[in-house]
Structure 1
């Protein structure tokens, strides 16, 4: 065992790995992050926003941006986020319901450590965001339970049976269990949960009193008809006679402004907000990202964030539509692809006798293309071997189209070699 840490002097999250997304010799179709071309304007717009924010701090605010911030974030930043989301969602988002975080991953960890009985359960879709699973597994006393996923969202019958059979009364925490999901342009499948499924989830959460945490990081990235409701939380209406408050929207600017900003928000019901704001971790340090939140507040106030987000949206839409068009004509007919109407990801199923991990090796060898194989997104050992996920976010459209054409050709060749 080494007694010394090795400093690798990395420049970004994907640096130093076998499949560095910036390595021109390999086309990485697995990375769920905006590309360099989309982040280029950030230096200029953040320069302007920082100057605006710090001038205000120096002149009128006693430099309080450098102080421990209010636990839920300053009113200014919460108001700017709420105003923007209200416009984009076309439904009210109230500043008093928001808690500033450092992103959706930290929001998940914060809720697991604060609201869920440590002898309880985490219900997840049978395929879900792989790094969320990694985070959940650190809470080793919690039991992770996978749920069947249909083309319109989680299977409500499966959810009810598994919740009903495990329910217990927690004496230590507000909730005995949590259902973690990505109902709007699901990761990895791209599914948009139907209104029927969304309403069913809310009904079951009230009936069995478990928490629903929605990773709402792709919600404004709709490339066809806008969903009836932009987030599942809207179905948990406070005007309902049986409303208690069982749904939380977990948002982030990572996909729509820049991942390095490390800023997000939780939109929470009145039932849980006091417990979250009394948590020791937030009381000790105050607002999780007070300085950057102030800068982003100015970014919105100066109308710099809005056109930047619109530019990313337009690029993502152009890329997704172009990739879907190629897949429609070039993907082998024995493979299945649910065409996403928004978000980042495309989920492809090969015939049952094939394994995505083996095709990945073939594709890397012959076309220098990588992606993420299905088992990485599953709780159950050996599940998802026929699936793989593609991302449209990082590369320019022309590079994506060329890569998808070559991937489909490689898949046809591979299927001719590996026959039943």
Structure 2
């Protein structure tokens, strides 16, 4: 083993490897990130917002943006986030319920480290966001339990059976278990959990007193009829007689402004916020991203963020609708997909005898196209071999349409090869 660190001077997360989404020789349909064309305006709007924010800091605010910030973030930034989300969700988001984070991944890690008994359980959908799984596996004393997933969301019967069988009373943490999910335009499947399923999740969380943590990063990216409820948290109604506060919404600007901003928020019920704000890690450093939060606050105050987000939304919608149209027309009839009504991802099921990882190798060799095989999203060994996920976010519509058409052509050819071997 080398005792020297090798510095490769990478420019972005996907740099330096075979999955480089900026490599013009390969069409990468796996990366869940906005493309270069969508991020290009950020330099100008952030320059204007930064000048506005820092001028105010210098003139009236004693440069406090460079100080340790309030643990949950300043009132000003939380108020800007709350105002914007209230309009987009068509339901109230209270500024006092928000805690500023550095994005949904850090928000999840923060919740795992503070809210759950370390001898407890993490319930997850049988296919779920793979990096979230990677984070969970670092908490080695927690047991990860997969749940059956249907076309309208988690299987409520499976959830109740598995929760009921494992429930215990925690002596040192608020919750004995967390159910982690992405109920709005699920990653990787793209599905939207039905109202029945959402109500059922809330009812079970109250009955068995476990915490539901929702990755709510795609919620405003609806491309058809807007959901009646834009996030599962709104089903956890505070006026209910049995309300306790069992749902947290974990949001991020990564998909709708830019991942490099590293800014997100937790929307938490009143009984849980004090426990989070007493955590040593947030008390030690204060607001997780005080400086950038101030800049983004100015971005919204100057009405620069809103048209930028609207532009990304319009591009994503155009791309998703175009991809769905190609798949409906050209995907082999032995394959299956549920056309997503929002979000970033399309989940494709192959015939039983076809392996997605093997098709990936074939597709890369013959069409220079990559995607992510379904096994990467599964908790259990051997699951997901007949699925793969594609992302609509990074590439322009014309490139996507051509790529998806070539992918379908390659899939037709590969299925014929498999049938004859």
- Residues 205-235 of structure 1: CA deviation (Å, up to 9, x unaligned): 0000000000000000000000110000000
| Partner SS state of residue 205, structure 1 | helix
TM alignment of 1:269-418, pairs within 5 A: 269-418=269-418
- Measure, in 1, the Cα distance between the counterparts of 2:4 and 2:74: 41
Residue in structure 1 matched with residue 158 of structure 2 by the alignment: 158
Q: Cα RMSD (Å) of the superposition?
A: 0.5
Gaps of 5+ in 1: none
Residue in structure 2 matched with residue 208 of structure 1 by the alignment: 208
| Partner SS state of residue 93, structure 2 | coil
- Measure, in 1, the Cα distance between the counterparts of 2:267 and 2:19: 36
- Measure, in 2, the Cα distance between the counterparts of 1:226 and 1:96: 26
- Measure, in 1, the Cα distance between the counterparts of 2:415 and 2:148: 28
- Residues 60-113 of structure 1: CA deviation (Å, up to 9, x unaligned): 000000000000000000000000000000000000000000000000000000
| Partner SS state of residue 120, structure 2 | strand
Q: How far is 1:2 from its partner?
A: 1.5
| Partner SS state of residue 419, structure 2 | coil
- Measure, in 2, the Cα distance between the counterparts of 1:8 and 1:171: 47
- Measure, in 1, the Cα distance between the counterparts of 2:23 and 2:34: 16
Residue in structure 2 matched with residue 138 of structure 1 by the alignment: 138
- Measure, in 2, the Cα distance between the counterparts of 1:277 and 1:416: 58
- Residues 305-362 of structure 1: CA deviation (Å, up to 9, x unaligned): 0000000000000000001000010000010001000000000000001100000000
Residue in structure 1 matched with residue 23 of structure 2 by the alignment: 23
- Residues 90-140 of structure 1: CA deviation (Å, up to 9, x unaligned): 000000000000000000000000000000000000000000000000000
- Measure, in 1, the Cα distance between the counterparts of 2:19 and 2:98: 37
- Measure, in 2, the Cα distance between the counterparts of 1:147 and 1:4: 43
- Measure, in 1, the Cα distance between the counterparts of 2:245 and 2:359: 45
| Partner SS state of residue 418, structure 1 | helix
Residue in structure 2 matched with residue 38 of structure 1 by the alignment: 38
Moved over 4 A (4+): none
Q: Please, what TM-score do these two structures have when normalized by structure 2?
A: 0.99
Aligned residues: 420
Q: How far is 1:55 from its partner?
A: 0.2
Q: Give yes or no for the alignment of 1:83 onto 2:83.
A: yes
Q: How far is 1:274 from its partner?
A: 0.3
Q: How far is 1:19 from its partner?
A: 2.0
- Measure, in 1, the Cα distance between the counterparts of 2:141 and 2:7: 33
TM alignment of 1:216-231, pairs within 5 A: 216-231=216-231
Gaps of 5+ in 2: none
- Measure, in 1, the Cα distance between the counterparts of 2:118 and 2:7: 35
- Measure, in 2, the Cα distance between the counterparts of 1:170 and 1:138: 21
Q: How far is 1:4 from its partner?
A: 1.3
- Measure, in 1, the Cα distance between the counterparts of 2:348 and 2:228: 26
